[in-house]
Amino acid sequence: MKNTQQKPPLSHSRAALNTLLICSLPGVGTHRYWALLNHCGSEQQILEADPETLPTLNQQAKQLLNEYQTNSQSSALATLAADIINEVERSQSIIISANDNHYPSLLRNIHHPPPLLYCKGNPLALHLPQIAIVGSRHATHQGINTSRLFAQHLAICGFSITSGLALGVDGAAHQAVLSIDEKLASTGKTIAVMATGINSVYPKRHQNLAEQIVEDGGVLITEFPPNTPPKAGHFPRRNRIISGLSLGVVVVEATIKSGSLITAKYALEQGREVYAIPSSIHNPQAKGCHQLIKQGANLVESSADIIEHLDGMIAHHHIELQQSTTAQTEKKRPELEPKDKVLLAHLGFAPTSIDQLIETTQLSHADISDALLTLEINGWIKHSAWGYERV
């Protein structure tokens, strides 16, 4: 396990608090939230609107909103939101709204993205290029090994590995990233998307795995508030986030009825790439992958196949990221920390690996990883499979 120092929880933004209040209204889920936002224009305007002009709200929600507008501090709605915030902070987590800078841009672009994400760990990891690895909970020995192999190779090349913290293929992918020697790893982290509240790991046997992901500089995320138990309907919602965060989805093993095929379906709807790994025709855990291949998914036999296929897309993605980041930070870039300035001085316009930066800067792996994330998000540098370079 790597000894990456965990950052303290960030403060919740005003946008996140307003969104939490709206989502705490009875009957307001993802689709109703976006309908309200389209109707009113902003979260603040929703909270200030005459409840009777909001036809999508049920009567109980209208009463709670009216009470909040009369006395916001002592209202039942404020109490509901405060209880959630207390649970979030107790679990050393944060809340990110779809309007926050920390909200991952790829996920924001899907149809009706989660209004809120509850995150534990390093939220900056959400901005790294991600590839999802999913598959059967009852994977074969070969499937487990394949998941580990793909996850390790892709992470060493700089991709973060996103999965659902489930048994089988998911767990193997997460664990593979955590097992990489620091000297070999680039910036690939692992991101676990949960179908429960942030403080309710499922399955229970993956509690230690979840803690290791956070300690390693990865992140746990969910759209469900604290103390939410696992329910059948939550897993498809989790799957759409897994695909929404990622450039592509790799299906390692899956039966015809596997939930992994739901993830692949969402990936196609969201314009993501779908990769399927073939196996023996006698393996029932491979039938879902073979079906995906028949339907046009990319057949892959190695992680190199994925990297080669994504190469052009990644370059395009970074151009878009660069343009977007430049537009946001051109007016006012935040002052750099001393270690960030040191690192920037050692980067040129040709890719430089983390190993080279450790050697030339004498900074720790943890400090370099943190500084690289800060520099990339603020538009100073960009990242590719070959390393980091100035923009």
Residue 279, token pair as written in the block: 């196996």
Average pLDDT over residues 226-234: 96
pLDDT value, residue 11 = 54
Q: What is the pLDDT of residues 336-385, one digit of tens each?
A: 888 888 888 888 777 788 888 888 888 888 788 778 877 876 778 877 65
Is the distance from CB of 147 to CB of 173 less than 8 angstroms?
yes
pLDDT value, residue 243 = 98
Whether pTM exceeds 0.85: no
pLDDT at 322 over 50: no
Task: From residue 174, give the alpha-carbon distance in Å to each of 121, 211, 385.
Answer: 15, 12, 20
Angle at 88 between CA 84 and CA 94, to 5 degrees: 120
Q: What is the pLDDT of residues 97-119, one digit of tens each?
A: 998 888 999 999 999 999 999 99
Nearest in space to 106 (alpha carbons), one of 250, 317, 330: 317
* Alpha helices (H) in 13-119, listed in sequence order: 14-23, 30-40, 43-48, 59-70, 76-90, 105-108
Nearest in space to 260 (alpha carbons), one of 273, 281, 245, 243: 243
| Average pLDDT over the chain, rounded to an integer | 87
Average pLDDT over residues 122-130: 92
Reported as half-sphere exposure (CB side, CA atoms, 13 A), residue 318 has a value of: 20
Average pLDDT over residues 22-30: 96
Average pLDDT over residues 10-18: 76
pLDDT at 33 over 50: yes
**Chain-centre distance for alpha carbon 370:** 17
pLDDT value, residue 14 = 81
Grade residue 5 by pLDDT with cuts at 50, 70 and 90. Answer: very low
Average pLDDT over residues 3-32: 77
Q: Could you tell me which residue, 328 or 188, shows the higher pLDDT? A: 188
Give the chain's domains with CATH numbers.
Answer: 123-308 (3.40.50.450), 326-390 (1.10.10.10)
pLDDT at 201 over 70: yes
pLDDT value, residue 312 = 63
What whole-number percentage of the chain has pLDDT above 90?
Answer: 66
Nearest in space to 7 (alpha carbons), one of 211, 210, 217: 217
DSSP letters of 184-219? Answer: T--S--EEEE-SSBTT--SSGGGHHHHHHHHHTT-E
The values of phi and psi at residue 128, to 5°, are -80, 150
